[in-house]
Structure 1
Amino acid sequence: MSLPKEKAKKLVSSPYAWLVLGVLTLIYISSFVDRQIIAVLAPQIQDELSLSNFQVGILYGTAFSFIYALCGIPMGRLADIYSRKLMIIAGLVVWSLMTVISGFATSLTFLIVARFFVGISESALSPAVYSLLSDYFKPEQRGTVFSIYAAGIFIGIGVSFLVGGGIAESYDWRTSLMAVGAPGLLIATVAWFVIREFPRGITQSSDNQRFDTEKSFGEVVRYIIRKKTVRYHFLGFSFMAFTGYTILGFIGIVLTDIHGAGSLVPQYGWFMMATGLSVMASGKAADWLAQKIAPSYRFVPGIIAALGCLPLYYFGLFAESAMIALVLIGLANMISSSYNGISVAILQYLVKPNMRALASGLYLFVISVVGFGIGPPLTGWLMDTIFTGNYGAAKALMLVFSCCGVLATIFFWMAMQHYDQDEETK
Structure 2
Amino acid sequence: MAHPGATPNMSRGYRGCVLLLLMLYSLCSWADRTVLSTIGQAIKVDLKLSDVELGFLHGFAFSILYVTLSVPAARLSERFNRVNIIAGSIALWSLFTSLSGFARTFGQLLLCRIGVGVGEACGNPPAYSLITDYFGPRRRATALAIYQLGLPLGIMAGAIAGGVLTQYHGWRTAFMVLGLPGLVLALLLKLIVREVPRGHSDALAGRVATSDVSPSTWQTARRVFSIPTARHMIMGVTLFTFVNYGAGAFIAPFLVRAYALNYAEVGLIIGFAIGASNAVGTFAGGYLADHFGRSNPRAYAYVPLIGLVVATPLAIAAYLQSDWRIAVALLAAAGVIQFVYFSPTYAAIYNMVDARMRATTTALISLVASLAALVIGTVAAGALIDALSGYYFGTVEGAGFATLCPGGVAAPDAPALIQASCRAAIDQATRTGLAFCTLGLLWAAVHFILASRTITQDFARATGGPQPRSDEPPAEAAQAAV
TM over 0.5: yes
Q: Which residue of 1 aligns with 2:382?
A: 380
Contact 2:308–2:338 at 8 Å: present in 1 too? yes
Partner of 1:252: 252
Q: CA deviation at 1:115?
A: 1.1
Q: Which range is displaced more, 205-214 or 250-259? A: 205-214
Moved more, 13-22 or 254-263: 254-263
The structure that is helix-richer by fraction is: 1
Which whole-Å CA distance do the structure 1 matches of 2:353 and 2:452 have between them?
16
1:274 paired to 2:286: no
Contact 1:80 1:357 in 2 (8 A): yes
Partner of 2:237: 237
**Following TM superposition, by how much is the alpha carbon of 1:331 offset from its aligned partner in structure 2, in angstroms?**
2.4
What is the TM-score with the length of structure 1 in the denominator?
A: 0.94
Q: Which residue is equivalent to 2:428?
A: 391
Paired residue type of 1:103: G
Q: Give the whole-Å Cα distance in 2 for the aligned partners of 1:274 and 1:58.
A: 27
Contact 2:102 2:172 (C-alpha < 8 Å) held by counterparts: yes
User: Is 2:294 the counterpart of 1:291?
Assistant: yes
Does the alignment pair 1:33 with 2:31? yes
Residues 312 and 442 of structure 2 are in contact (CA less than 8 Å); yes or no, is this contact kept in structure 1?
Answer: no
SS at the partner of 1:337? helix
Which residue in 2 is equivalent to 1:192? 190
In structure 2, the partner of 1:103 is 101
Q: Which amino acid aligns with 2:148?
A: A
1:265: which partner in 2? Answer: 266
Of residues 68, 71, 74, the one that matches 1:70 is 68
Matched to 2:463, the amino acid is T
Partner of 2:77: 79
Offset of residue 7 of structure 1? 6.9
- Structure 2 counterparts to residues 2-401 of structure 1, below 5 A: 6=5, 8=7, 10-11=9-10, 14-205=12-203, 208-211=208-211, 213=213, 215-263=215-263, 264-266=265-267, 267-271=269-273, 272-292=275-295, 294-386=296-388, 388=392, 389=425, 390-401=427-438
Could you tell me the TM-score, scaled by structure 2's length? Answer: 0.84
Cα shift at 1:152: 0.5
Identity within the alignment, %: 28
Matching residue's letter, 1:234: I
The change in CA–CA distance for 1:260 and 1:417 in structure 2 (over 3 A counts) is same
Matched position secondary structure for 1:10: coil
Q: How many angstroms apart in 2 are the aligned matches of 1:286 and 1:161?
A: 29
Q: 5+ unaligned residues in a row in structure 1: which ranges? A: none
Q: Deviations over 1:249-283 (max 9, x none)?
A: 10122112222223431121112023212210111
Q: Distance in 2 between matches of 1:357 and 1:311?
A: 35
CA distance in 2, matches of 1:114, 1:357: 26
Question: Which sits farther off after the overlay, 54-63 or 314-323?
Answer: 314-323
Cα RMSD (Å) = 1.9
Structure 2 unmatched runs, 5+: 393-424, 465-482
Query: Which shows bigger deviation, 229-238 or 257-266?
Result: 257-266
Equivalent-residue separation in structure 2 for 1:125 and 1:227 (angstroms): 26
CA distance in 2, matches of 1:68, 1:223: 23
Q: In the alignment, what sits opposite 1:418?
A: 454
- The answer (yes or no) to whether the contact 1:73–1:365 under 8 Å persists in 2 is yes
Describe the superposition over 1:88-115 as per-residue Cα deviations: whole angstroms up to 9, x where unpaired.
Answer: 0000100010011111001111111111
**Partner Cα separation in structure 1 for residue 3 and residue 90 of structure 2:** 27
Q: Structure 1 stretch 172-181 or stretch 58-67: which is displaced more?
A: 58-67
Work out whether residues 239 and 405 of structure 1, in 8 Å CA contact, stay in contact via their aligned partners in 2.
yes
Distance 1:326 1:214, change over 3 A: closer
The answer to whether the 8 Å contact 2:64/2:375 transfers is yes
Contact 1:102 1:178 in 2 (8 A): yes
Compute the displacement of 1:297 (Å). Answer: 1.9
Say if 1:149 and 1:341, in contact at 8 Å, map to a contact too.
no
Indicate if the aligned counterparts of 1:27 and 1:187 stay in contact, CA closer than 8 A: yes
Contact 1:240/1:337 (<8 A) preserved: no
User: What is the rounded CA distance, in whole Å, between the counterparts of 1:142 and 1:321 in structure 2?
Assistant: 41
Q: State which drifts further: 49-58 or 271-280.
A: 271-280
Q: Alpha-carbon deviation of 1:195?
A: 0.4
Check 1:189–1:399 CA distance in 2 against 1; reply closer, same or farther (3 A cut). Answer: same
Deviation at 1:305, TM superposition (A): 2.1
CA contact (8 A) 2:278 2:339 kept: yes
Once residues 367 and 280 of structure 1 are traced to their aligned partners in structure 2, the CA distance between those partners, rounded to angstroms, is 22
The alignment of Structure 1 onto Structure 2 pairs a total of residues equal to: 421
Distance 1:382 1:248 in 2: 14
